[in-house]
């Protein structure tokens, strides 16, 4: 996933550099195919970044919940072990 993300960001950066290089040209020029493609890439990058951010946020929340559940299960296990130890000691 990281490699794909880095590749995608590299492509976006390249598209940005190409479009930034075109800024020196006359402003009166009609938007050509390269500019349209650059705009489409920018829009796609923005949408992908937004979706990735949402997915990462959901994954973070799920990880936090899983961590909380594991922590609670660990506490319960320690409590049961202490009870078993105490019960065993009382029987001796």
pLDDT digits (tens, 9 = 90+) for 19-68: 666 665 555 566 788 888 889 999 999 999 898 989 999 999 999 999 99
Question: Can you give the pTM of this predicted structure?
Answer: 0.43
User: Quick one: pLDDT at residue 36?
Assistant: 87
How is the chain classified by DSSP, letter by letter? -HHHHHHHHHHHHHHHHHHHHGGGS-TTSPP-HHHHHHHHHHHHHHHHHHHHHHHHHHHHHHHHHHHHHHHHHHHHHHHHHHHHHHHHHHH-
41 and 12 in contact (C-beta within 8 Å)?
Answer: yes
User: Quick one: pLDDT at residue 77?
Assistant: 92
The domain ranges of the chain are 2-91
């Amino acid at each position: 996933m990281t490699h794909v993300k880095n590749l995608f960001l590299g492509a976006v950066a390249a598209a940005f550099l190409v479009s930034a290089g075109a800024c020196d040209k006359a402003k009166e020029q009609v938007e050509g195919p390269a500019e349209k493609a650059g705009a489409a890439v920018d829009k796609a990058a923005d949408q992908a970044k937004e979706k990735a951010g949402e997915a990462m946020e959901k994954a973070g929340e799920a990880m936090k919940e899983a961590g909380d559940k594991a922590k609670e299960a660990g506490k319960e296990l320690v409590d049961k072990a202490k009870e078993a130890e105490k019960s065993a000691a009382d029987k001796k």
